[in-house]
Structure 1
């Protein structure tokens, strides 16, 4: 049905007005402008990367990060700040060296996958069997890789939404155990990354229960190409791998979720949750994964905390522990708060992308979509469109809260270059775009204020 332009504008304004009062509409515009012109989020990520650095679970950096985050929340005006303990298995990266031995010798750049066992002291030298995809490896006959090293060369492609990460990361997660089931003594994969730098990408892998644990490494993209080129000569390729990664059975380390609140003035038990993960891989300084998210949600809460009146509902910032080793902080949070998950009225997390947010996807009750459209009207001038779907789970850690029934929003940023640096030594502060960070922070600030002020029941 055709709706005249003037009527459509009135409808949009009407839904906006229903969600927020006139004073609140004025306030949200002021907040948006404050965030768009503030350097606070950049100052926070600079502080985290300079004063702490990498924050792998159980490391000294992790301990420092918990203290840093607690102090930062207090300095930014949070009403309540506390920690909740999280525990997980210990793992040490150690050192690694790799070399193509024949037919054409080359030293190559590899990195141990997170959780991998090491080699024997003298290392492993063995012929390599090449598979283009994980599916090809799965099809190899049982026992066909006895005494060999399996290599998967699948190359991730670049997309604004990072959509090829899923197909590429399967080899990282499952590859070693699948190779071991075929008789392999080690597993090599092309790095899950879109760069052409001679730097390898790490990340979490998992061993299958009851299957022998074999060493697993990722190879830099240029060296993966080099290895593939050697196979094209139709000669046997032999590879040497030596690594001292340590995964002591049963040994545990501790970390903590760091949580802060701006307490609601009218409905303190209703929680709007925004979050990021505080931990990082043990390479780089964790600037974009996920220092960027930490900075955004802390700055957003601070801007709202500076208002003369507290928001109607509680704004809770959750900095999750141990995301990089299996969402352990999120699992602990959901378990601890399972009796009041109904109080979590809506939430969003940041854990992807370096560019500006261009799309908002809701995951809410059908009746509350008019309220989401009102929010979309506020965000549209910043270049954020509303997705036609209503099926969002929150990102990363907070996806577990979505699964537990929390309505969610997923904000999509430009992630075209994200996987150039993801899980590498190159995850450093210089990759952060200060202007994009301002826009992203403004989006989260607007969302947080809108959700804490509106009377919308996002479950309905």
Structure 2
């Protein structure tokens, strides 16, 4: 199935801009309803209120913890209060990791010039020995430098590896994947070469003294035995300056992170049943969990507010769409898309993957939506372009047909579900991402309202459509 999706994505190179000239016209009544929904959404503060409620009444909600369980209870109560249908929780198990006693660990330079550092354990990291550890730092200017270093040498034995490459801000956030390599994988090289621990420059663009956490990767289910921490940007600058002075740097640290056994999480699901084709599903989502360092307003409380409000505004419009709109608030996204995989596997087991007509997630903050992309069969691009034209008044430009629907949509996309994506302005997103600074005050109500307007119009038009958005080859295979 994965090969089918990847081939389809590579073959679908036509952009929405190229499809604008193709003939597909929405009828006048459909356009009028879509525009009316957009205007209603621009005047609504429902998404803002939902996000405020989640971040204030629940707060931080690390996957598998009692706080995340409280978030699920909050979500069920909220969705039922908003009169959604078929509200339910689909539970699943996961391996629980926590950082232990404190949000910020005890980390300090002891030589050449003693001073404290702001650093935080990465998700999945091990702890220091009970009394802490102190070691000399081996400085790598970049992940690529570590990758190219001599693996057979003993230069890292008993040392602390520090990896320094920086992330560059952009509207698309495209620098994140490149910079994030060190967070995902550097621990493996450090541990395999005998290092006593790993430090990385935070994967983020902030110049504030906040360290950015995030989950590491675990090849073949292996978990780190060494501590691994992100250092705030200004503190990483300090380490770099000392290195450039030719000084030998020693750092002392004490951390308490570790794996705590099995725990429960869950996906919260709610629906607006379709009027004519209730078995056909337009799935929209966001993730309910957050890191434990802040209230997760941008990542992803805003997404929860945006998709929930969009669906509610459609339900209250008096124009019930043909297809079912399913809102999924995924659990345990931050620790490896655990809820997304559980949802997709459950749909494989119950045989309803083909019922999922198209999907999308909001998980990139609450700045304005500026571009609409997709990953659908080329025959469907003229209709996608027609939907985009309705969003142009909101300042949304056309994207290409080679993207995805958001992180929690990845497992469904691998199983052949078409995707569409409303891309938000991410220029400052990684100043707050995975830091204690991801709080509700960062959300601008007018920008959030523009998000909801774009989502409400797009979801209504997709859910009221009769089009099968899958590539023709997949449609033919499904009918055989």
Structure 1 residue 212: Cα displacement: 6.0
CA contact (8 A) 1:16 1:377 kept: no
Q: Deviations for 1:99-132, whole angstroms, at most 9, x for unmatched residues?
A: 1111111111000101111101111101000001
Structure 1 residue 14: Cα displacement: 6.2
Matches within 5 A, 1:12-91: 15-17=24-26, 21-91=27-97
Q: How many Å separate the matches in 2 of 1:73 and 1:262?
A: 11
Q: How many Å separate the matches in 2 of 1:343 and 1:298?
A: 21
CA contact (8 A) 1:81 1:260 kept: yes
How many residue pairs get matched?
A: 445
Q: How many Å separate the matches in 2 of 1:418 and 1:213?
A: 31
1:314 equivalent to 2:320? Answer: no
Matches within 5 A, 1:148-227: 148-209=159-220, 213-227=225-239
Q: Deviations for 1:141-185, whole angstroms, at most 9, x for unmatched residues?
A: 233200100000111111111111011111111111111112211
Alignment equivalent of 1:378, drawn from 390, 394, 407? 390
Alignment equivalent of 1:396, drawn from 400, 407, 424? 407
Matching residue of 1:345: 357
Q: How many Å separate the matches in 1 of 2:23 and 2:144?
A: 52
CA contact (8 A) 1:146 1:184 kept: yes
Q: Deviations for 1:379-425, whole angstroms, at most 9, x for unmatched residues?
A: 011111112x2112111011211111111012111000000000011
CA pair 208-144 structure 1, distance change in 2 beyond 3 A: farther
Matching residue of 2:145: 136
Structure 1 residue 12: Cα displacement: 6.7
Q: How many Å separate the matches in 1 of 2:422 and 2:271?
A: 22
Q: How many Å separate the matches in 2 of 1:132 and 1:309?
A: 57
Q: How many Å separate the matches in 2 of 1:425 and 1:432?
A: 15
Q: How many Å separate the matches in 1 of 2:200 and 2:145?
A: 13
Matching residue of 1:433: 444
Matching residue of 2:117: 108
CA contact (8 A) 1:203 1:423 kept: yes
Q: How many Å separate the matches in 2 of 1:92 and 1:212?
A: 14
CA contact (8 A) 1:177 1:213 kept: no
Alignment equivalent of 1:333, drawn from 332, 339, 343? 343
Q: Deviations for 1:186-241, whole angstroms, at most 9, x for unmatched residues?
A: 00000011011111010001344568621000000000000111111212111111
CA pair 238-405 structure 1, distance change in 2 beyond 3 A: same
Q: Which runs of 5+ in 1 are unaligned?
A: 1-10
CA contact (8 A) 1:199 1:425 kept: yes
Alignment equivalent of 2:274, drawn from 241, 259, 264? 264
Alignment equivalent of 2:375, drawn from 363, 371, 381? 363
Q: Tell me the SS of whatever aligns to 2:33.
A: helix
1:305 equivalent to 2:315? Answer: yes
Q: Which runs of 5+ in 2 are unaligned?
A: 1-19, 473-480
Q: Deviations for 1:272-312, whole angstroms, at most 9, x for unmatched residues?
A: 01100111111110100000000000000100111224211
Moved more, 200-209 or 112-121: 200-209
The TM-score with structure 2 as length reference comes to: 0.90
Q: Tell me the SS of whatever aligns to 1:15.
A: coil
CA contact (8 A) 1:16 1:375 kept: no
Structure 1 residue 139: Cα displacement: 2.1
The TM-score with structure 1 as length reference comes to: 0.94
Structure 1 residue 23: Cα displacement: 2.1
Structure 1 residue 77: Cα displacement: 2.0
CA contact (8 A) 1:118 1:215 kept: yes
Alignment equivalent of 1:244, drawn from 242, 248, 256? 256
